[in-house]
Amino acid sequence: MSQAQSDVLMFLETVHPYDSLPRDQIELVSSRFEQVSFSKGSEIYHRGNVLAGIYLIMDGAVEILDAANTVVSELAARNSFGERGLLSDGFAATTATARSDCTLLMLPKDEFHRLMQEQAVFSRFFTRGRFADARRGDMAIQKVSELMSRPPIVCASSDTVRSAATLMRERHVSSLGVVDNGRFLGILTTRDLTGRVLAEGLNPDTTPVSAVMTPDPVGLPGEALGSDILHLMLERRVGHLPVVEGDRLVGMITQTDLIRFHAISSAQLIRDIASAESAEDMRAITARIPQLLVQLVGSNNAHEVVTRLITDIADSVTRRLIMLAERELGPPPVPYVWLACGSQGRQEQSGVSDQDNCIFIEDGVEPEDMPWFQQLAAKVSRGLDICGYFYCPGDMMATNPRWCQPVSVWRSYFRDWIYKPDPTAQMLASVMFDLRPICGASSLFQDLQAETLEDASRNSIFTAHMISNSLKHAPPLGLLRGFATIRSGEHRNQIDMKHNGVVPVVDLGRVYSLIGRLAPVNTRARLLAAEEAGIISGAGARDLIAAYDLIADMRLRNQVRQVRDGRKPDNFLAPYDFGDFERSHLRDAFVVVRTMQSALANGGRAPV
């Protein structure tokens, strides 16, 4: 394998869905890609051109323009483009232009179509992404409930105009719902304050809101579509529309909400992060992630697409913080690679995430060089915390000297965990088997990953310990078709959708990858690879994947509900707040997970 192909292979191993392909396929694909370069401002292809293949950005930025030469997408490293035309008639549906000097990989169209036909994970990624992107960009078919501000800010009809104006200023809103005893009466806007109070010379300290509000304004139900909003705003020449259920106000939608919908995308956030000059600048950008989560889930994207896009943002923040730290500290004394583990390593981050990371350093490092890496770890981890990726409670971070070591030390760690398994070793191995390079010399990790998988899979004692460890997280199943909910405290009558929902499947996927020496780190990709390798039966794999999809989707939808209610998203869900249908399906999904755990514990394949 040439050095150029080796570089392409290492890059592809960090890009989904290529990282989920079987080893022989990703090596084959790496040889089929052609590397091409474009200077800033040059056209890569024009709308209507015959496409040679699909493009993948290695470095630089690309603009995608529609027929009216309007920029519809701005893409950065690891983004693909051109698939839309290849999946229709083979002609470019858009125009692609280099925003900066860029290096691209072009996969010929014949190879792209072969992968679409032969590799399910590849086909699923590009097919789902195609429809999801189209819908995500079309506000007209979004439901009003996905677009509105929530919860609404309200006042009483008897409140004075001054107190209402003060509330608007404090809450940074341009309108208030007027509600008495739970009944929606009207709306007060900044325009009302200008035209009906100031212009008329009314005393704001004595004038009640009821005297100047707009009574009984036209409203929309949550099930209405974005097109209804546009029509009403244009017809009535208003900038605020209440969202109502009967005579109850449930939200407010404004022109600002519509602008925000168009402005937020993972690509936009990543582009903004790439130019940020400090962690504080990036904090303002990552603060928009909850709204992006609402938008992505509201567009019915698959959970693996949502969590992948959310993780891409964390990766970009990490890389930018590393670049800023190196700018301050100077070049590294020896090559290194920064790796993520946990949910970021698996590309499964949701609306709430801590940081789990470590550093592998080339073995030539001298003791006097280590302070450079310790300073790097401190700066990056602190920056991540500022950006909302809080410090790991278990101290699984590069700031811990134990997790910032030369490759030879890491090799000894893994060997000790494998050949001297104990509860601590099992826990550490569980975290570290989910490692993924984020920035730096990924070759420092690749060989060790393959070597570790080989050693671990051959050690039956270690494998047995890992299986035992994977069964510690049990699905929350109670007696008589009920749920085993938390009995006391803040989350009483709720279930933990992370530790008792998602994590049991994550643990199963990790063990399957260990048994089969499978390279994917993402849980869903591991389950698919385990099926293909015969580690689990086809029927068992289909059931487990379907169960995982339902559990992960409900977890994300619950987080979105919390965001809309003005709460910080977490992993706790109250199952009895859902209807019988959803509750029954969720319980069935947990039963599937428990069945697969039992099959693993008994040393057999999943039931056919």
Most confident of 201-205, 297-301, 517-521: 201-205
pLDDT in tens, 409-423: 999 998 888 888 777
State how far the alpha carbon of 476 is from the alpha carbons of 60, 445, 503, 559, 574, in Å: 46, 37, 12, 19, 12
Residue tagged 């106000």 (tokens): 249
pLDDT of 559 reads 92
Judged against a pLDDT cut of 70, whether residue 494 lies above it is answered with yes
Query: Among 486, 369, 358, which Cα is nearest to 414's?
Result: 358
State how far the alpha carbon of 172 is from the alpha carbons of 56, 175, 350, 526, in Å: 41, 9, 27, 46
pLDDT of 608 reads 36
pLDDT in tens, 101-122: 999 999 999 999 999 988 877 8
pLDDT of 149 reads 60
pLDDT in tens, 339-392: 999 899 999 998 778 899 999 999 999 999 999 999 999 999 999 999 999 998
Would you list the DSSP string of 187-226? EEEHHHIIIIIITTT--TTT-BGGGTSEES---B-TTSBH
Q: In a 3-state reduction of DSSP, which class is residue 135?
A: helix
pLDDT of 259 reads 58
Judged against a pLDDT cut of 60, whether residue 131 lies above it is answered with no
pLDDT band at 138 (very low <50, low <70, confident <90, very high): low
Query: Among 128, 173, 133, 134, which Cα is nearest to 153's?
Result: 173
Percent of the chain exceeding pLDDT 90 equals 45
Q: Provide the pairing of β-strand 154-155 with 175-180.
A: parallel
Q: What is the CA radius of gyration of the chain?
A: 26
Lowest-confidence pick of 186-200, 244-258, 377-391, 497-511: 244-258
pLDDT of 450 reads 80
pLDDT of 18 reads 86
Distance CA 103, CA 115 (A): 23
Judged against a pLDDT cut of 50, whether residue 605 lies above it is answered with no
Mean pLDDT across the chain, nearest whole number?
86
Percent of the chain exceeding pLDDT 70 equals 92
Q: How many CB atoms lie within 10 A of CB 113?
A: 15
pLDDT in tens, 452-487: 888 888 888 888 888 888 888 889 998 766 899 998
pLDDT of 460 reads 84
Distance CA 353, CA 342 (A): 10
Residue 445 buriedness (CB in 10 A; 0-12 / 13-18 / 19+): buried
Q: Judge whether 317 and 387 are in contact, CB under 8 Å.
A: yes
pLDDT of 604 reads 46
pLDDT in tens, 544-600: 999 999 999 999 999 998 888 888 889 999 998 888 888 889 999 999 999 999 988
Looking at the chain, the number of H-run helices and the number of E-run strands are 24, 20
Judged against a pLDDT cut of 90, whether residue 226 lies above it is answered with no
Judged against a pLDDT cut of 80, whether residue 143 lies above it is answered with no
Q: In a 3-state reduction of DSSP, which class is residue 64?
A: strand
pLDDT of 4 reads 82
Residue 322, amino acid: I
Sheet holding 183-189, edge to edge: 154-155, 175-180, 183-189, 214-215
Distance CA 140, CA 127 (A): 22
Q: Provide the pairing of β-strand 53-59 with 572-573.
A: unpaired
Lowest-confidence pick of 53-62, 181-190, 287-296: 287-296
Judged against a pLDDT cut of 50, whether residue 132 lies above it is answered with no
- For residue 57, what are the β-bridge partners? 104
pLDDT of 206 reads 96
Query: Among 218, 229, 214, 217, which Cα is nearest to 145's?
Result: 229
Judged against a pLDDT cut of 90, whether residue 399 lies above it is answered with yes
pLDDT of 239 reads 83
Lowest-confidence pick of 15-24, 251-260, 515-524: 251-260
Q: Judge whether 244 and 252 are in contact, CB under 8 Å.
A: no
Judged against a pLDDT cut of 80, whether residue 161 lies above it is answered with yes
Distance CA 230, CA 140 (A): 8
Judged against a pLDDT cut of 70, whether residue 142 lies above it is answered with no
Residue 547, amino acid: A
Judged against a pLDDT cut of 60, whether residue 58 lies above it is answered with yes
Residue 188, amino acid: L
Q: Is the backbone of residue 367 left (phi > 0), alpha (psi -120 to 50) or beta?
A: alpha
Q: How many CB atoms lie within 10 A of CB 110?
A: 10
Instruction: Tell if the pTM clears 0.85, that is, is over it.
Output: no
pLDDT of 129 reads 39
Distance CA 384, CA 381 (A): 5
